[in-house]
Amino acid sequence: MCGIIAITTSSKVNVSKMITDGLKKLEYRGYDSVGIATINNGKINILKDAGTIDKVNNRLSLENLQGTIGIGHTRWATHGPPSRENAHPHSDCTGNIIVVHNGIIENYLELKENLLKKGHNFSSETDSEVFAHLMEEELKQKNHELSFINAFKRVLAKIEGTYAITLIHSEEPETIFLARKDSPLVIGIREDTKFAASDIPAFLEYTKKVIVLKNGEIATLTPQAVYIEKNGFRIQPKPVIVSWTAASAQKSGYPHFMLKEIHEQPIALRNTLKIDLNVINKASSKILDAERIIFLACGTSYHAALSGYHQFQRILKKKPVYKVIASEFESYSHLFDEETLIFAISQSGETLDVMKALSPARKLGASIISIANVVDSSIPRLSHISLYTKAGPEIGVAATKTHTAQVSLLARLALQLEYDTGLVEKNEFNQNLESLISEIPQVTRSVINQNEFKAKSLASIISNQNHAYFLARGMSIPVALEGALKLKEISYIHAEAFPAGESKHGPIAIVESMFPVIMIAPNDRTAKKMLSNAEEMRARGAYIISVTEKDHNIIERSDYTFIVPKTMSPLVRPITYVIPLQMLAYYAAVRRGFDPDKPKNLAKTVTVE
Ligand code: AGP
- Residue 402's pLDDT is what? 98
The protein residue with its alpha carbon nearest to ligand 1, atom 6, reads: 299
Q: What are phi and psi of 104, to 5 degrees?
A: -135, 125
Task: Name beta bridge partners: 471.
Answer: 498, 519
Distance 15 CA to ligand 1 centre (A): 31
pLDDT at 142: 58
Nearest CA to ligand 1 atom 2: 398
b/e 452-488 (16+ beta carbons within 10 angstroms → b): bebbbebbebbbebebbbbbbbbbbbbbbbbbbbbbb
Query: What is the spatial distance between Cα 383 and Cα 317, in angstroms, rounded to a whole number?
Result: 25
Give the class (CATH, top level) of 448-597: alpha beta
Give the global pTM.
Answer: 0.81
Segments of the chain assigned to CATH 3.40.50.10490: 251-424, 448-597
Q: Which residues have C-beta within 8 Å of that of residue 29, sequence separation ≥ 6? A: 1, 2, 3, 74, 76, 102, 198, 199, 603, 604, 605
Please provide the CATH number assigned to the domain covering 251-424: 3.40.50.10490
Residues belonging to the chain: 609
> Is 60 exceeded by the pLDDT of residue 399?
yes
Pick the atom of ligand 1 nearest to 300's CA. Answer: 8
Q: What is the mean pLDDT of residues 419-428?
A: 96
Ligand 1: centre distance to CA 35 (Å): 26
For residue 251, how far is the Cα from the chain centroid?
18
Which residue from 372, 6, 19 is spatially nearest to 186, judged by alpha carbons? 6
**Ligand 1 pocket mutation, candidates 407, 604, 609, criterion most atoms within 8 A of CB:** 604
Domain with CATH 3.60.20.10 in the chain: 3-249
Under the banding of pLDDT at 50, 70 and 90, the label for residue 605 is confident
Q: Which of 123-137, 446-460, 561-575 has the lowest mean pLDDT?
A: 561-575
Strand order in the sheet with 209-212: 43-50, 33-40, 69-75, 3-9, 193-197, 186-190, 209-212, 240-241
Closest atom of ligand 1 relative to the 402 alpha carbon: 14
Please report which confidence band the pLDDT of residue 567 belongs to, taking 50, 70 and 90 as the band edges: confident
pLDDT, position 251 = 84
Residue 102's φ and ψ, nearest 5 degrees, are -125, 130
- Whose Cα sits closest to atom 4 in ligand 1? 398
Mean pLDDT of all residues in 20-49? 92
Distance 366 CA to ligand 1 centre (A): 24
Give the residue numbers annotated as catalytic, written as ranges.
Answer: 2, 604
Q: Which amino acid is at 600?
A: K
Contact between 411 and 424 (Cβ < 8 Å): no
Pocket of ligand 1 (CB under 6 A): 298-301, 346-348, 351, 354, 397-399, 489, 602, 605-606
Rounded distance from Cα 399 to ligand 1 centre (Å): 6
Q: Provide mean pLDDT across the span 367-376.
A: 93
**Phi, psi torsion values for 391, nearest 5 degrees:** -95, -5
Mean pLDDT of the chain: 93
Q: Is-contact 31 2, C-beta < 8 A?
A: no
Q: Cβ(73)–Cβ(4) under 8 Å?
A: yes
User: Which atom of ligand 1 is nearest the CA belonging to 348?
Assistant: 15
360's enclosing H/E stretch is helix 352-363
The edge-to-edge listing of strands for the beta sheet with 516-521 is 494-499, 467-472, 516-521, 543-548, 560-563
| Sheet of 340-346, strands arranged across | 321-325, 292-297, 340-346, 367-372, 385-388
Distance from the first to the final alpha carbon of the chain:
11
Q: Which CATH number fits domain 3-249: 3.60.20.10, 3.40.50.11890, 3.10.20.30, 3.40.50.300?
A: 3.60.20.10
- Asked if residues 123 and 83 have their Cβ atoms less than 8 Å apart, the reply is no
Q: Whose Cα sits closest to atom 5 in ligand 1?
A: 299
- Report pLDDT for 145: 59
pLDDT in tens, 208-225: 999 999 989 999 999 999
CA of 351, closest atom in ligand 1: 16
Checking DSSP bridges between strand 367-372 and strand 385-388, what pairing results, if any? parallel
Neighbours of 227 (CB within 10 A): 14
Q: Check residue 143 and give its pLDDT.
A: 54
Q: For 535-556, how does the pLDDT look when each residue is reduced to its tens digit (9 = 90+)?
A: 999 999 999 999 999 999 999 9
How far, in Å, from the CA of 402 to the mean position of ligand 1? 10
Test site for ligand 1: of 298, 403, 406, 601, most ligand atoms within 8 A of the Cβ = 298
